[in-house]
Structure 1
Amino acid sequence: MDVLPNNRTSPSSHTEFVLRGFPGVSKSRELLAVPFFTVYVLILAGSLIIMYRIWMEKSLQSPMYYLIFLLFAVNMTCNTAIVPNTLVALLFGMEQISLGGCFFQMFFMYTMVMFESNVLLLMALDRYVAICKPLRYHDVMTGRLLLLLSIFGFVECNLLVSPIIIVASRVEFCFSNLILDFACENMVLLNLGCGNIDDIQIVGLMVRILVTAMDITLLLVSYSSILYAAMNVVTGKARHKTLHTCGTHLSVVVLNYSCGLLSSIAYRMPISINLQNLTSAIYYLFPATIHPFIYGYRVKEIRLCLIKAWTR
């Protein structure tokens, strides 16, 4: 597929693009498939194992484990929208993607990322009620409430992502059809558009800042209340267990947002395309790879179920 020169005045608008992730290592692209494939297998295997144990074990049928199950499902779905397509491009050179396919991947990817943040908020809510309102926990955190909150969160994420896709779909991409990334990132794709795209980029940035700021604020408020209650109400072993459980969730929150912050900073710094691609890969793949190890090791009930299943 031909690539237009760097000229924003071309009259034609591209409908087919080339995803060229890590352009600086084009001579050994097949080798890049090895870490991507390995990480993807780890994500699928780790997530499915823990999801299966939560589904099968009656002792794990509670709101907290339902949310852990949902988190792993979101992780798998998000990475399935990215990695298989990347593997096909690296191994077989099938790098072409249609404009519609690019928008679909972007929509699916961003929706899952936002919904993952929503699930982390629900986890914080669950721990807040369990620690600050223990006597009302089973009355408040019902399966029906969690289902409604999950559906509401998913619909909300769709509504937040839709303006980004709608605005981007109105751009004429006549600058080039070469996307120097392994996924259809909004910022990378819009840089291929003609004319003034500053307003469009501002819309996407405002949505991201609004969602991130709101989520982080709610998380900080929730965990501040939890820590205050744990230090002033809970004592002895109960306090240790409470702090241990909250520490597990906090480590996941910090991991996710740190990787997201790293990726956002990298896209706005004058660094090489390969480093930007690397930070993007870390953002999407690394947390999902680590989550099974965090929950499998730090959550005692899940760890014991895994050990019991292994000894069988």
Structure 2
Amino acid sequence: MLQFQDNMEILSNLTSSFPTFLLTGIPGLESVQAWLSIPFCCLYAIALSGNSMILFVIITQKSLHEPMYYFLSMLSATDLGLTISTMSTTLAVLWFDANKISLDSCIIQMFFLHGFTLMEMGVLVGMAFDRYVAICKPLRYTTILTNSRIIQMALLMVIRITVLLVPLLLLLKHLSFCRGNALSHSYCYHPDVIKLACSDIRTNSIYGLIGLILTTGIDTPCIILSYIMIIRSVLSIASPEERHKAFSTCVSHIGAVAIFYIPMIILSLVHRYGRTAPRVAHSMMANVYLILPPVLNPIIYSVKTRQIRKVILNLLWQK
């Protein structure tokens, strides 16, 4: 009977113009999902409150209206968007077992999910460039990183996201889905959706590869190159104290890069090579990939950035 129902769902997805997918909570732990939603809620609350606090502090404090903090505000805004774009479906699955989602809703969620992910990549590149200029060309810092140039960089990130994502996601509308309809996560993730298609996906794969080259293939080498030049510049400083001071200004950014890229790489490897891994491993890694950066970034920058920490402590002390 169960096999018959599965076959009917596959046939329905194949013949319908509006296929639906089933989101997955935490496989094998369905009976305690309501309890597991409590730590998720706590993490979402930390991400929302922490990033909102960073944004509020930077917007309201004129002393923080500098390029470094503009990039930090963009990072916080991106983390907020990343949290909100997946929080609704994740909590709906954990709380109410509301696991059905249409293709159109899936495409909309993927646009924001992957869009904010690409935005975070771009912001991390901008922050690496900011550290490079601050350490290697300190006398030209204010003339290179002007307000207009930072706005241009932000617009370039938005244009890149739109040009790459809109065609990639619209290509999904022309596919037929006949390999079941159960996704691996509690949100729509493009590699997860595309593997359910039974149509020819060569165009999608080629376009996806081009997008990967134009994003990760450019951003990652830019960050690495920035730090190679920073290290060369810092090592040329004679004073150990000045050398330590210069390196310490990069610690927060290095932490942000690590907590963003390491889970992303692991999730990609799990999707590509981890077919034999337990489904719960896929689910947990997918949730770590999305929730870790928004939770930890505000903590890292609040702890390691004296100006941010001072303003936040003053605000809390006044209250």
TM-score with structure 2 setting the length:
0.90
Q: Cα gap change, 1:10/1:112 in structure 2, threshold over 3 Å: closer, same or farther?
A: closer
User: Are the aligned partners of 1:81 and 1:105 in contact in 2 as well (CA < 8 Å)?
Assistant: yes
User: Are the aligned partners of 1:24 and 1:274 in contact in 2 as well (CA < 8 Å)?
Assistant: yes
SS at match of 2:15: coil
TM-score with structure 1 setting the length:
0.92
Q: Aligned pair 1:222/2:226, yes or no?
A: yes
Alignment of 1:137-148 (within 5 A): 137-148=141-152
Q: Aligned pair 1:232/2:236, yes or no?
A: yes
Structure 2 gap ranges (5+): none
Q: Which amino acid aligns with 2:261?
A: Y
Q: What is residue 197 of structure 1 aligned with on the other side?
A: 201
SS at match of 2:25: coil
Once the two structures are superposed, residues 23-45 of structure 1 have per-residue CA deviations (whole angstroms, 9 ceiling, x without a partner) of 32222221232122111000011
Q: Aligned pair 1:245/2:237, yes or no?
A: no
Q: Which amino acid aligns with 1:231?
A: L
169-178 vs 2-11, greater mean Cα deviation: 2-11
Deviation, structure 1 residue 242: 1.5
Once the two structures are superposed, residues 231-281 of structure 1 have per-residue CA deviations (whole angstroms, 9 ceiling, x without a partner) of 214745433221001122112112211111111111121212221111111
User: Are the aligned partners of 2:132 and 2:230 in contact in 1 as well (CA < 8 Å)?
Assistant: yes
Q: Cα gap change, 1:234/1:145 in structure 2, threshold over 3 Å: closer, same or farther?
A: farther
Deviation, structure 1 residue 173: 1.6
SS at match of 1:182: coil
Aligned mates of 2:159, 2:303 — CA distance in 1: 32
Q: What is residue 33 of structure 1 aligned with on the other side?
A: 37
Q: Aligned pair 1:74/2:90, yes or no?
A: no
Q: What is residue 303 of structure 2 aligned with on the other side?
A: 297
Q: CA RMSD in A?
A: 2.1
Deviation, structure 1 residue 195: 3.5
Q: Aligned pair 1:56/2:63, yes or no?
A: no
Q: Aligned pair 1:185/2:189, yes or no?
A: yes
Q: What is residue 102 of structure 2 aligned with on the other side?
A: 98
43-52 vs 157-166, greater mean Cα deviation: 157-166
SS at match of 2:177: coil
SS at match of 1:178: coil
Q: Cα gap change, 1:9/1:219 in structure 2, threshold over 3 Å: closer, same or farther?
A: same
Q: What is residue 262 of structure 1 aligned with on the other side?
A: 266
Aligned mates of 2:60, 2:238 — CA distance in 1: 31
Q: Cα gap change, 1:10/1:156 in structure 2, threshold over 3 Å: closer, same or farther?
A: closer
Q: Percent identity?
A: 29
Q: Cα gap change, 1:61/1:7 in structure 2, threshold over 3 Å: closer, same or farther?
A: closer
Q: Cα gap change, 1:255/1:42 in structure 2, threshold over 3 Å: closer, same or farther?
A: same
Q: Which amino acid aligns with 2:15?
A: S
Q: Cα gap change, 1:169/1:305 in structure 2, threshold over 3 Å: closer, same or farther?
A: same
Once the two structures are superposed, residues 168-193 of structure 1 have per-residue CA deviations (whole angstroms, 9 ceiling, x without a partner) of 22111233233232011112212221
Tell me how many residue pairs correspond in the alignment. 311
Deviation, structure 1 residue 165: 0.6
Q: Which amino acid aligns with 1:282?
A: V
Aligned mates of 1:137, 1:161 — CA distance in 2: 33
Structure 1 gap ranges (5+): none
Aligned mates of 1:198, 1:7 — CA distance in 2: 22
SS at match of 1:263: helix
Q: Which amino acid aligns with 2:317?
A: T
Q: Which amino acid aligns with 2:32?
A: S
Instruction: Return the match for 1:284 from 286, 290, 301.
Output: 290
Q: What is residue 17 of structure 1 aligned with on the other side?
A: 21
